Structure 1
Amino acid sequence: MPQPLSSKDGSLFRQVTAQTGLKAADQILRKNPNHGDTQAMKALILSNQGQQEEAFTLAKVALKNDMKSHVCWHVYGLLYRADKNYDEAIKAYKFALKLEPESQSIQRDLALLQAQMRDYQGYIQSRTTMLQQRPGFRQNWTALAVANHIAGNLTEAENVLTTYEETLKTPPPRTDMEHSEAILYKNSIIAESGDLEKALEHLDAVGKNCFDVQAVMEMRADYLLRLGRKAEAEAAYTILLERNAENSNYYDALIKAKDVDENDHKALKAIYDEWAEKNPRGDSPRRIPLEFLEGEEFREAADAYLQRMLRKGVPSTFANIKNLYTNLSKLDMVQDLVEGYAAGKLESQANGSAEKQANGDTSPFEGSVLYFLAQHYNYHLSRNLGKAMEYVDKAIALSPDSVDYYMTKARIWKHYGNLAKAAETMEKARSLDDKDRYINSKAAKYQLRNDENEKALDNMSKFTRNETFGGALGDLHEMQCVWYLTEDGESYLRQKKLGLALKRFHAVYNIFDTWQEDQFDFHSFSLRKGMIRAYMDMIRWEDHLRDNPFYTRAALSAIKAYILLYDNPDLVHGPIENGSDGKEMDEAERKKALKKAKREQQRLEKAEAEKREAKKAASTKASDGETKKEDTDPLGNALLKTPEPLKQATKFLTPLLEFSPKNIDAQTLGFEVYIRRNKYLLALKCLLAAHAIDPSNPLLHAQIARFRKTLDTLSEPLPSDVSEVIASEFDSLLPKSRDIASWNDAFLDSHKDSPAHIQSALSVRQLLSGPDSRPQNEKDLLGSIDHDTTSLEDALAGLSLLDDWGSSQDTKSAYKAHAGKKWTEASVFVSQ
Structure 2
Amino acid sequence: MPQLLPSKEQTLFKSLVKFYEGKQYKKGIKAAEQILRKHPSHGDTQAMKALILNSQGQGEEAFELCKLALKNDMRSHITWHVYGLLWRSVKNYEEAIKAYKFALRMEPNSLNILRDLALLQCQIRDYDGYIESRRKMMQERPQLRQNWTALAIAYHLAGNYAEAENILKTYEETLKQTPAKSDLEHSEATLYKNTIIAESGDTERALKHLEEVVRTSLDRTSALELKAQYLLKLGRYEEAEKSYRVLLDRNNEYRAYYDGLEQALGLSRSNDADIEKLKDLYESYAKKSERNDAPRRIPLEFLSGDAFKTAVDEYLRRMLNKGVPSTFPNIKSLYQDAGKKAVIEKLVLGYAADKITNGSTRGEANGDVSKRFEQSVLYFLAQHYNYSQSRDLAKATKYIDQLIELDPKSVDYHQTKARIYKHAGNAQKAAATIEHARELDERDRYINTKCAKYQLRNNENEKALNTMSKFTRNETVGGPLGDLHDMQCMWYLLEDGEAYLRQQDLGHALKRFTAIADIFDVWHEDQFDFHSFSLRKGQIRAYIDMVRWEDHLRDHPFFTRAAIQAVEIYLRLADDPGMSKPGQVDLDKLEPAERKKAEKKAKKEKEKAEKVEADRKAAAAAKATAKADDGETKKEDADPTGEKLLQTTEPLEAALRFLRPMLELSPKNVEAQNVGFEVYLRRKKYLLALRCLEAARQVDAEDPTLHEQSVRFRQTISKLSESLPTHVAQVIKESFTAPAADADLKAYNESFLKKHPSSASHLQAAYKVRYLLDKGTQSQNEADLNKALDLPDATVQQALAGFGLLDEWKSEQKVKDDYRAKAASRWSEAVVFTQ
Q: TM-score range by the shorter chain?
A: over 0.9
1:682 equivalent to 2:692? Answer: no
Q: Once structures 1 and 2 are overlaid, which stretch shifts more, 377-386 or 253-262?
A: 253-262
Residue in 1 aligned with 2:456?
448
Task: Report the Cα distance in structure 2 between the residues aligned to 1:597 and 1:639, rounded to whole angstroms.
Answer: 22
Q: Residue 331 of structure 1 corresponds to which residue in structure 2?
A: 341
Q: Deviation per CA, 1:121-179, whole angstroms, max 9, x where unpaired?
A: 11111111111111101100110111111111111111111111111111111111111
CA distance 1:720–1:385, shift in 2 (3 Å): same
Q: Distance in 1 between matches of 2:716 and 2:797?
A: 29
> In structure 2, how many angstroms separate the alpha carbons of the residues matched to 1:479 and 1:513?
15
Identify the match of residue 273 of structure 1 among 280, 283, 296.
283
1:293-332 mapped onto 2 (5 Å cutoff): 293-332=303-342
**1:467-486 → structure 2 map (5 Å cutoff):** 467-486=475-494
**2:739 is aligned with 1:734:** yes
What is the distance in 2 between the residues matched to 1:516 and 1:613?
Answer: 34
Alpha-carbon shift at residue 691 of structure 1 (Å): 1.6
What is the rounded CA distance, in whole Å, between the counterparts of 2:264 and 2:584 in structure 1?
Answer: 66
**Aligned counterparts of 2:804 and 2:602: Cα–Cα separation in 1:** 22
Secondary structure at the aligned position of 1:342 is classed as helix
C-alpha separation in 2, matches of 1:306 and 1:706: 54
Q: Which of 195, 198, 205 matches 2:202?
A: 195
Per-residue displacement from partner, 1:364-416 (whole Å, max 9, x unpaired)?
A: 11111111111111111111111111111111111111111111111111111
One-letter code of the match for 2:258? Answer: Y
**Correspondence for 2:182 among 154, 175, 180:** 175
* Match of residue 828, structure 2, among 818, 824, 831: 824
In the TM superposition, what whole-angstrom CA distance separates every residue of 1:95-140 from its partner, at most 9, and x where no partner exists?
A: 1111111111111111111111111111111111111111101100
Alpha-carbon distance in 1 for matches of 2:194, 2:494: 42
Partner of 1:581: none
- Shifted more, 40-49 versus 284-293: the winner is 40-49
| Offset at residue 434 of structure 1 (A) | 1.3
Aligned-pair identity in percent equals 58
Structure 1 residue 150 corresponds to structure 2 residue 157: yes
Kept in 2, the 8 Å contact 1:318–1:376? The answer is yes
Counterpart amino acid of residue 78 in structure 1: L
From 54, 61, 71, give the equivalent of 1:54: 61
- SS of the equivalent of 1:208 reads coil
**1:112–1:520 Cα contact (<8 Å) kept:** yes
Partner of 2:124: 117
Alignment of 1:497 with 2:501, yes or no, is no
2:673 is aligned to 667
1:487 alignment counterpart: 495
Where structure 1 has 5 or more consecutive residues not aligned to the other structure, the ranges are 578-585
Equivalent residues in 2 for 1:116-265, closer than 5 Å: 116-262=123-269, 263=271, 264-265=274-275
- Deviation track 1:528-569 (CA, whole Å, cap 9, x = no partner) reads 110101101101100100111111111111111111222233
Give 1:303 shift: 0.4
Which of 551, 556, 563 aligns to 2:564? It is: 556
1:353 & 1:698 partners in 2: Cα distance?
A: 55
Which amino acid is 1:749 matched to? Answer: K
Following the alignment from structure 1 to structure 2, what is the Cα–Cα distance between the partners of residues 433 and 385?
26
Q: State the distance in 2 between where 1:485 and 1:818 align.
A: 34
Equivalents in 1 of 2:604, 2:794: separation in Å?
Answer: 41
In the alignment, the residues of structure 2 paired with residue 316 and residue 306 of structure 1 have an alpha-carbon distance, to the nearest angstrom, of: 11
Instruction: Please say if 1:433 is aligned against 2:441.
Output: yes
Residue 420 of structure 1 aligns to which amino acid in structure 2? Q
For residues 713 and 818 of structure 2, the distance between their equivalents in structure 1, rounded to whole angstroms, comes to: 32
Shift of 1:352: 9.0
Q: 1:611 Cα shift?
A: 8.3
Change (3 A) 1:743 1:602: farther
Flag the 1:294–1:758 CA change in 2: closer, same or farther, 3 A.
Answer: same
User: What is the alpha-carbon distance in structure 2 between the residues aligned to residue 490 and residue 605 of structure 1?
Assistant: 29
Matching of residue 464 in structure 1 with residue 468 in structure 2: no
Aligned to 1:287: 297
Tell me how far 1:351 sits from its aligned partner: 12
Which amino acid letter does the alignment assign opposite residue 788 of structure 2? S
Is 1:404 matched up with 2:405?
Answer: no
20-29 vs 196-205, which deviates more?
196-205
Shift of 1:724: 3.3
1:552 maps to amino acid: T
State the partner residue of 2:522. 514
Residue 692 of structure 1 corresponds to 698
Displacement after TM superposition at 1:571 (Å):
2.5
Task: Report deviation, 1:716.
Answer: 3.5
Indicate conservation of the 8 Å contact 1:154/1:193, yes or no.
yes
Alignment map for 1:554-703 (pairs within 5 Å)? 554-574=562-582, 620-623=626-629, 625-703=631-709
Deviation at 1:721, TM superposition (A): 3.7
Which residue of structure 2 aligns with residue 8 of structure 1?
Answer: 8
Residue equivalent to 2:812: 808
On the 8 A contact 1:467/1:621 being kept in 2, the answer is no
CA gap 1:696/1:460 in 2 versus in 1, 3 angstroms: same
CA displacement at 1:353 relative to structure 2: 9.2
TM-score normalised by structure 1 residue count? 0.94
Q: How far apart, in 2, do the equivalents of 1:718 and 1:130 lie?
A: 54
Deviation at residue 708 of structure 1 after TM alignment: 2.1
Alignment map for 1:372-383 (pairs within 5 Å) = 372-383=380-391
TM-aligned CA deviation for residue 613 of structure 1: 6.7
Provide the rounded CA distance (Å) in 1 between the counterparts of 2:376 and 2:583. 47
TM-score by length of 2: 0.94
- The aligned length equals 818
Q: Is the 8 A contact 1:605 1:635 kept in 2?
A: no
Q: Deviations over 1:771-801 (max 9, x none)?
A: x211111001101111122222211111111
- SS of 1:278 mapped into structure 2: coil
Q: Which moved more, 1:167-176 or 1:329-338?
A: 167-176
| Equivalent position of 1:795 in the other structure | 799
Q: Relative to 1, partners in 2 of residues 1:602 and 1:199: Cα closer, same or farther, differing over 3 Å?
A: farther
User: What's the CA shift for 1:464?
Assistant: 0.5
SS at match of 2:287: helix
Q: State the Cα distance separating 1:273 from its structure 2 match.
A: 0.4
CA root-mean-square deviation: 2.5
C-alpha change, 1:576 and 1:319, in structure 2 (3 Å) is farther
1:744 aligns with 2:754: no
Contact 2:317 2:361 in 1 (8 A): no
TM-superposed CA distance for 1:698, in Å, is: 0.6
Q: Distance in 1 between matches of 2:197 and 2:547?
A: 19
Aligned to 2:771: 766
Of residues 171-180 and 681-690 in structure 1, the stretch that sits farther from structure 2 once superposed is: 681-690
Aligned counterparts of 1:343 and 1:333: Cα–Cα separation in 2: 15
Matching of residue 29 in structure 1 with residue 36 in structure 2: yes
Secondary structure of 2:214's match?
helix
Q: Distance in 1 between matches of 2:647 and 2:779?
A: 38
Aligned residue type for 1:750: K
Aligned 8 A contact 2:627 2:634 in 1: yes
1:244-272 Cα shifts (integer Å, max 9, x gaps) = 11111111111222222332211100000
CA distance in 2, matches of 1:275, 1:721: 66
- 2:495 and 2:578 mapped to 1: Cα distance? 24
Whether the aligned pair in 1 keeps the contact of 2:757 and 2:763 (CA below 8 Å) is yes
Cα distance in 2 between the residues matched to 1:658 and 1:64: 42
Alpha carbons 2:321, 2:359 under 8 Å: kept: no
Which range is displaced more, 339-348 or 265-274? Answer: 339-348
